[in-house]
Amino acid sequence: MNKNNNKKYNAAYDLIIRNINKNPQKVAFIDNNSQITYNELFIKIKAFSYSIKSKNIKEKDKVILCMNDNINYPIAFLGLIWAGITPICINTMLPKKDYVYMIEDSEAKAIIISSNLIDQFESIINTKKNSPLLIVEESKKYLNLNLLINQTEGSHDNPCDSNEEDVAFWLYSSGSTGSPKGTLHIQKSMIATASTYAKNIIKINDNDIFFSAAKLFFAYGLGNALTFPMSVGATSILMSDRPTPESITNIIKKYSVSLFFGVPTLYAALLNSKIEVNDFKSLRLSVSAGEALPAHLYEKWLDLLGIKILDGIGSTEMLHIFISNTIEETTPGASGRPVNGYEARLINDDASIASDNEIAELEIKGPSSAIAYWNKPEKSNLTFKGEWTKTGDKYIRSSSGIYTYCGRADDMMKVSGQYVSPFEVEASLQTHESVLEAAVVAHKDKDNLIKPKAFIILKDNYMPGKNLELSLNKHVKSQLTPFKYPRWYEFVKELPKTATGKIQRFKLRDYNE
């Protein structure tokens, strides 16, 4: 980047200094074991920035963060950006082969992990000649993160001399359509998501208590639990465990959470767990992303709690939600309208602009787009097309400007010469009394023609059988154009998903073969 053409800016400095100037004693983060004020966070960010550089980690070097959500996460993440070092946030629930791939692909100089992941990473590090420095939250054998954070020997009082368009951090794509890609985000992108979506759509303020079931290593969770609350001086609740209906309910009740960020799978699980209305009385708003929210889940949540779920679509490449419903205008089953500051367009297979009510591929232009995939020039050129970013999602736009998700481009199928959205069929199936979850993929019949096939998780007390399949088909035909009904059913105990809750339909397609 030509530093003469963009302004000096450090994302970590921006997020922390606005709170030091305003209300340094406000509690910034609360985790399973402790809490930290903005002033304490400021001190530890500067201390960690100093100590990590003392370990021969230099500006522009890359450091992998594979940590559970706790107070150390924002300290390490922001401390690295403060120091001009690039944090790479990765999922804590991946198989070993993915960690090997990411370490080799990123050329990281160090890896910071939570203690429960030491066996996974120790076995990887021990097989490498020039292995990255391993830093563990609590460890006597390896460099101890807590000691680096709490050292008092020195402090970087001033942030790295970075600019708005310098790379600040990476996220790896979730792998819903194949191997993950290192996605490069620049310094000014984080605050852009707060000043567009968070400020205008969910109307955040410093009295809000934030809780995100999506973890910090996801683009969605990073905004929900770190960028957004810090941008206004609010408090964020961090939970290291995997979210369950019970743990989510306990946190919302205990901390009087006002903003809850979930995914459709969790909303379905919460509704199926017979939650107590009184436990959620502090909520003013719920948000959903990761996978499109079926209309029936929105309506059940609203009927039960009197609280809206604002569904929207975001991506790793765009950092957070760029099309959303709003408090003032909500369309159940749809993603809504482009967030102010973003533009959307739908592109046909022949590269022409689609008309209203045509299914086509969504492209987005906005201030939080990544600049490239690491070391993948061909894929970068396909996705990042000048100012526009190709999402890989098929959408349809109504004449009134509402965008509705139809499925991933790879998941769409043509049946009888017409596009069928797997999501549309899934949403219909999920309104049947027996269905807990559903996924629909393309499958070839005996004549080699494409038809829908459904994978179903049944609710308790329901058994698979021909009568149930006939009932499901009748139900779908009563709601959708009849040719869209599934021709085959597989009743399963679980569906393959990314940790963000996206169904990995490519694995279900492989199941067919």
The arithmetic mean of pLDDT across residues 133-141, rounded, is 93
In this model, does residue 413 exceed pLDDT 90? no
The enclosing domain of 450 has a CATH number of 3.30.300.30
Give 219's pLDDT tier (boundaries 50, 70, 90): very high
Contact in structure between 177 and 409 (CB atoms under 8 Å): no
Distance CA 193, CA 6 (A): 19
pLDDT of residue 268: 87
- Asked whether residue 203 is domain-assigned, the answer is no
Query: Is 283 part of any domain?
Result: no
Look-up of token digits 């509704």: 271
Cα of 147 vs its chain's centroid, Å: 30
Residue 52 domain-assigned (yes or no): yes
| Closest C-alpha among 436, 414, 417, 416 to residue 426 | 436
d(CA 253, CA 53): 41
> Does residue 357 belong to any structural domain of this protein?
no
Range of lowest pLDDT (160-164, 178-182, 340-344, 433-437): 178-182
Instruction: List the strands of the sheet with 235-237, edge to edge.
Output: 35-37, 27-30, 235-237, 209-212, 259-262, 285-288, 309-314, 321-324, 337-338
CA distance to 260, 359, 389, 443, 480, per residue, from 476 (Å): 32, 20, 34, 18, 6
Residue 204 has pLDDT above 80, yes or no: yes
Q: Express each pLDDT in 456-502 by its tens digit.
A: 999 988 999 999 999 999 999 999 888 899 999 999 999 988 766 67
Q: What are phi and psi of 294, to 5 degrees?
A: -60, 145
Domain CATH for 182? 3.40.50.980
Residue length of the chain: 513
Sign (positive or negative) of CA dihedral 42, 221, 190, 186: positive
- The span from the CA of 512 to the CA of 453, in Å, is 9
Q: 4-8, 34-38, 129-133, 503-507: which has the highest mean pLDDT?
A: 34-38
pLDDT tens digits along 65-88: 999 999 999 999 999 999 999 999
pLDDT for 56 equals 94
- Work out the average pLDDT over 116-138: 90
Pick the residue with more confidence: 403 or 445? 403
φ and ψ at 101, to 5 degrees? Answer: -60, -45
> What is the predicted pLDDT for the residue at 94?
86
Q: What are phi and psi for residue 441, nearest 5 degrees? A: -135, 165
SS (H, E, C) 230-254: HHHCCEEECCCCCCCHHHHHHHHHH
For the chain, give me the number of helices (H) and strands (E)?
A: 17, 27
Domain boundary among 169, 186, 203: 186
> Quick check: 11 and 188 in contact, CB under 8 A?
yes
Pairing of strands 403-408, 388-397: antiparallel
Asked whether residue 1 carries a pLDDT value surpassing 60, the answer given is no
* Residue 261 pLDDT exceeds 60: yes
pLDDT of 417 strictly over 80: no
Distance CA 63, CA 462 (A): 49
Kindly indicate the confidence band of residue 180, based on its pLDDT and cuts at 50, 70 and 90. Answer: confident
Q: Count CB neighbours of 242 within 10 A.
A: 12
Calpha distance 214→194 (Å, rounded): 17
The two tokens of residue 290 are 């990761």
Select from 186, 217, 240 the last residue of a domain: 186
pLDDT for 178 equals 55
In whole angstroms, what is the distance from residue 74 CA to residue 342 CA? 27
Quick: pLDDT tens for 5-48. 679 999 999 999 999 999 999 999 999 999 999 999 999 999 99
pLDDT digits (tens, 9 = 90+) for 105-125: 999 999 999 999 999 999 998
Lowest model confidence (mean pLDDT) among 183-192, 261-270, 362-371, 410-419: 410-419
Classify residue 247: in a domain, yes or no: no
- Any domain includes 76: yes
Q: Determine the structural domain holding residue 103 and report its residue range.
A: 1-186
Give a yes or no: residue 256 inside a domain.
no
pLDDT at 3: 46
DSSP-derived pairing of the beta strands 27-30 and 285-288:
unpaired
Distance CA 492, CA 280 (A): 32
Q: Is residue 439 part of a domain?
A: yes
Domain count for the chain: 2
Last residue of a domain, one of 186, 221, 245: 186
Residue 34 structure tokens: 């402790």
CB-based contacts of 250: which residues, under 8 Å, 6+ apart?
none
